[in-house]
Structure 1
Amino acid sequence: MLRQFQDRSEAARNRVVIAATPMIAATFLPSIIQSYSDRYPDVQIVLRDMPFDMLLATISGGMADIGVTAIDGDYENIEFQPLAQEPIVLVVPAKHPLADQSHVTVEMILPYRMIFLDRYTNLREKLSGEFARFGAMLKTSTATTMPTLMGMLDTGSCVGFLPRSMAQINARESRVIVELAAFHATRNYGSVVSRRVVLSPAVQSFREHLHAEFEPLM
């Protein structure tokens, strides 16, 4: 019995459960996990992708050791360490009037409906403030997932704001990436852990590896 308990304890110490939002899980983490596993083959890595709110609950509840996400603001019992910042770009349908413009300003996008991922509240508030300077109201739609957002964008009924890497991954002949002049917004990526938990050596070493490898991939 004691031997079984010791074996389970050893396995837990050599296991890292990572929670990540879907885009990060699919785009950045595979190569980071692979390079970490090459260096530390005895550590078991478990990657779970999930929506942002579920990620925070999973970390707070101790069901994952570390989270990787973009985050705005402070959250109780969550410790955030920055990984990288990424600029937000405008994505428009290829046949949209803005697609061929070399210089796009906020004033030029005033007539169009915007679509955002639903948790980009800070970005919506910032853009709404910019619209207000011109006496205009921001017209918005939101989507929970990237496929839904892209499907709405492809109808031509709206234009969308996305982090540059996400926009590039989803770029194709029917979509064009546009950078706005005089409007700067970023997504702040980082690792999150529970303030109430003492990290194991395996989790600490993975976090160090993550912070060394993440930004060069952007």
Structure 2
Amino acid sequence: MRYKIFKENVEYIETFNKIGTRSYKLGINQFADLTNKELQASRDGYQMFSYQKSPKASSFRYENVTAVPSSMDWRKKGVVTGVKDKGQYDGTCNTSQAAKITGYQDVLANSESALLKALAKQPISVAIDASGSDFQFYSSVIFTRECGTDLDHGFTTVGYGTGSDVTKYWLVKNSWGTSWGENGYIRMQRGIDAEEGLCGIVMQASYPIA
């Protein structure tokens, strides 16, 4: 049975890449012998912060930011930890456990502009609908697949930029190990028409407060 699942997934990946209707690529990874349902069941799903909102953090800290760099990659500034595979990930959006966190503050919901302002200042936790097969086997290039808004997995956005084909993207860190995606990262299209962003990325963005 496991081999049958693997074979079917490989056929899906190869067919997708051969047809080439999307610019991004899929690849065989550690989830190639799992059905999509099995992958979802192996993860504990998305849970929002267990921290209480701080009374001092009732407003969006970066609301008045007026100018942001054309691109940002917090990895180059040495503030992003290495990618790890958390296995049965609990889905909570923890950007760091190195410092004591007393609360968190929300980025304005359904606003790519607000997320961009915040991300220009620090990495930001987000929730995404990562339930699709293309997410499971994502390998490289900017992800542009339409998906839902049933937020089921926590990620950390660590930057943004523009691809060689001028497609704008969010740089997102996952917790599925370095064999998934672009060494554990995914570039997701930004600047789309949907107010919630691709896969709901701007619906519930937050950052911790020390």
| TM-score bracket, shorter-length normalisation | under 0.3
Write 1 or 2 for the structure with the bigger share of helix.
Answer: 1
Structure with the larger RCO, 1 or 2 (CA within 8 Å, 6+ apart) = 1
State the TM-score, normalized to the length of structure 2: 0.24
Which structure has greater strand proportion? 1
Q: Which has the larger radius of gyration?
A: 1
